[in-house]
Amino acid sequence: MFSQGAKKRVTELLSIAGIQVNGGAPWDIQVHNEDFYKRVLGGGSLALGESFMDEWWDCERPDEFISKVLSTDLEHIVRSPAVIGEIMLSKILNFQTRSKAVDNVHKHYDIGNELFIKMLDERMVYTCAYWKDANTLEEAQVNKMDLACRKLMLEPGMKVLDIGCGWGSFAKYAAEKYGCTVTGISISHEQIDLGKKICAGLPVEIRYQDYREVNEKFDRITCFGMIEHVGQKNHRAYMEVVNRCLKDDGLFLLQTVGNPYTRTYPDPWISKYIFPNCTVPSVNQLGEASEGLLYVEDLHNFGLYYDRTLMAWHNNFVQHWDEIKHQYDERFYRMWRYYLLSCAGGFRAKRNFLWQIVFSKRTRPGLYIAVR
């Protein structure tokens, strides 16, 4: 039932962020269902995303709307029971056991390669690009991979492990451009199938394997956008695997979305619809996980480049929607747009960062010179 009090409260809160209900600015929301206000007050960020999917509201620039909401901390003012429940469960349960991790990955990465082919660059890179001196998404992704290779000081003949290798984009680049032998591991069947085709003829092995099962030595280890799926209860075990598999003089490059706050629970909407049980680590969590195992040689933050990357993905998705929409429905279209645009707004508001961190073994000799 429509509540006038709820409407007044939501309208007042949005005005703090400079957002007007049914206003004319690109970031103003147009409300189509008057029950929207009560729903959002009771359900927080989960209800906000779901009501967009249900066409209860629209906005010309959802990315700007989300950026303004996050910049004024409105999500902390309206904390829903869903968030409180996630906090309590995260302290008790491990949502990233081996069996649960397979289910989590399947729900996002196995929804159809064609979607990602249309959305991403030609190399199929599904992590933040490095836009310095780049004009296109393709150039920016090559920049990112080459930057990582130089940070790792790759040389021909090195053995490289890529944890959570996606469709093999980095494995292919390191093999082609730097002469490395690369082992990529993933638990996404669709990514592995396409990745093997992409890397055919190169010294690249892409195999189905949980990171916890790896027990080989490598000169270098990489991980792009996968530790967010590891879960805070498994961070230490993850770093122990890296320590076990990295040669004494080796280097490990970790690229991850970073949280300015230490949290143990995911965003309810992202967890339910996009990345199940995904938790973004803080510097403190990564530091505790690696303490006594690995040294931080370099930390590079280029989070605002993720805003631009996500907007490029969104533009590709919208542009090619007619070619893939027979596989999905209109609610999926709104859900996927909200995912890309709300995440872009989050990086724009600096509520998330993007870190490339270079670690070494404690036994590595010599001075490491940071690369930019």
Encode pLDDT of 311-326 as tens digits: 999 999 999 999 999 9
Q: Note whether 132 and 64 are same-domain residues.
A: no
Q: Note whether 357 and 267 are same-domain residues.
A: yes
Q: Note whether 25 and 157 are same-domain residues.
A: no
Q: Note whether 253 and 282 are same-domain residues.
A: yes
Given 128, 149, 165, 343, the catalytic residue: 343
Greater pLDDT, 348 or 265: 348
Question: Can you give the pLDDT at residue 112?
Answer: 86
Question: Can you give the pLDDT at residue 77?
Answer: 58
Question: Can you give the pLDDT at residue 242?
Answer: 98
Average pLDDT, the chain: 92
In a domain, 163, yes or no: yes
CA distance 48 to 42: 10
pLDDT above 90 for 98: no
Please say which residue of 79, 112, 129 terminates a domain: 79
DSSP β-bridge partners for residue 31: 57
Domains held by the chain: number: 2
Question: Can you give the pLDDT at residue 20?
Answer: 97
96 pLDDT tier (thresholds 50, 70, 90): low
Q: Tell me the C-alpha to C-alpha distance, in Å, between residue 100 and each of 61, 231, 248.
A: 35, 11, 32
Q: What is the mean pLDDT of residues 109-113?
A: 83
Cβ contacts of residue 286 below 8 Å, gap of 6+? 235, 254, 256, 357
pLDDT above 80 for 85: no
In a domain, 372, yes or no: no
Q: Which of 80-84, 132-136, 188-192 is the least confident region?
A: 80-84
92 pLDDT tier (thresholds 50, 70, 90): very low
Residue 149 bears catalytic tag = no
Question: Can you give the pLDDT at residue 87?
Answer: 43
Question: Can you give the pLDDT at residue 82?
Answer: 52
In a domain, 91, yes or no: no
For residue range 124-176, list pLDDT tens digits in order: 999 999 999 999 999 999 999 999 999 999 999 999 999 999 999 999 999 99
Q: In 340-351, which positions are buried (b, 16+ CB within 10 angstroms) versus exposed (e)?
A: bbbbbbbbbbeb
pLDDT above 80 for 358: yes
Q: Note whether 276 and 149 are same-domain residues.
A: yes
Q: Note whether 37 and 183 are same-domain residues.
A: no
Cβ contacts of residue 319 below 8 Å, gap of 6+? none
For residue range 203-244, list pLDDT tens digits in order: 999 999 999 999 999 999 999 999 999 999 999 999 999 999
Q: Please work out, in degrees rounded to the nearest 5, the angle formed at the alpha carbon of residue 144 by the alpha carbons of 140 and 149.
A: 145
Q: Around Cβ 305, how many Cβ atoms within 10 Å?
A: 20
Q: Any idea what the CATH number is for the domain that residue 275 is in?
A: 3.40.50.150
44: containing domain: 4-79
